[in-house]
Every structure is written in C-alpha cells, then in structure tokens.
Amino acid sequence: MDPTSLQNLHDIITPTPVSWLPPAPGCYALGVSVLLLLTWFSIERYRIWQRDQYRREALLILRQIKKGLADPAQHKNLLPQLPELVKRTAIAVYGRAHVASLYGAGWLEFLDKTGVTDLFTKGSGRLLLDCSYQPAAWFDTLSNEQVNGLYKVVYRWVGRHKRVHSPVSKD
C-alpha cells in the first residue's frame, strides 16, 4: 500500500473533553472557603441592614416633612415633629435610659458628639430646642434659610450619626 494514498486517511479523532471538576483537593477546600466567606458576608450585611431599619424609617419621615416645609404655613405643624423624631431616633440607637433624660444644652452636646459635628450647639441645630416649646406665632418669624438649615442638620445627624456598642457618656 502506498502511504500517500487517500485510502489510508481516517477520521480525525478528537480527545475526550477535559472535566470541569477540579482534580486537586485544594480546589475543593478553596471552593468551600469562598462559599463560607460569602455566606458570612451575606449574613453580616443582612444584620447591618436590619440594624439600620430605624434610620431608614426616620429618613423617610424626614423626606415627608421636607415636602411640607415648602409651605411656610405648615412650619408650625411640621417643625415640632423634628425634635420628637430626633429623640425617638436617639432612643432607638442609644437606649431610653441614656437619652430620655437629656434636655437643653446637654441634649445638643449629645447630638454634636454622636453626629461628629458642632452644628447643634453652634449652628442652626440650636433651633431644635425652640421647636418643641415655642408658640405657633414663633414659627412665622423663621426665615426659609433657618428652616432649611435646621432640616439639613437634623437630616445629616439621622443619616450619619455613629452607632456605639456601649452608651455614650454624659461628659
């Protein structure tokens, strides 16, 4: 037979496909480790999401208040809700035993300390104290800048205050 003859040709034999399963036990260990790490990460993210539920609810209420603040006639109805909301939020985070007794300058200092700011004691956040106790006519004297400044300080505190594992001291 002639080696160059076309009759000597055969079909191309393809190799068997490579298995997708890793051949080494280290690959299994790496896969299990990655799976455990992803599970732990997911659980931690879910815990953080649950823990911050109070914050999301407070921010939602603040956004609703903001819509109403566009009308100056609503200031006397909406601004008194801000101190109450801040106090409820602080109680949710730091506990009733620590927060409920705070008032006046001590309350503003607490908000500054936990919000890492000085806008409550030295800025427009000082109006927060007046919103609870002033008569309805007082709200008509506030300018839009004052109202917006107070709202921004409160919104910032609710959105950014730091959580602590132990109660904040009264220092």
Domain shared by 46 and 77, yes or no? no
pLDDT of 33 above 60: yes
Average pLDDT in the chain: 89
Per-residue pLDDT, averaged over 46-73, amounts to 93
pLDDT of 167 above 50: no
Higher model confidence: residue 22 or residue 86? 86
Counting Cα atoms < 13 Å in the Cβ hemisphere of 39 gives 6
**pLDDT tens-digit series, residues 61-91:** 999 999 999 888 899 999 999 999 999 999 9
Domain shared by 149 and 81, yes or no? yes
Where does the pLDDT of residue 3 fall: very low under 50, low under 70, confident under 90, or very high at 90 and above?
A: confident
Q: Which domain holds residue 130?
A: 52-160
- Last residue of some domain: 10, 34, 51? 51
Closest CA to 151 of 122, 131, 135: 131
Please report, rounded to a whole number, the percentage of residues in the chain having pLDDT higher than 70. 94
**Number of domains the chain is built from:** 2
Q: Is residue 29 part of a domain?
A: yes
Domain shared by 41 and 81, yes or no? no
Q: Say what the pLDDT of residue 1 is.
A: 64
Q: Is residue 1 part of a domain?
A: no
Using CB atoms within 10 A of its CB, is residue 44 exposed (0-12), middle (13-18) or buried (19+)? exposed
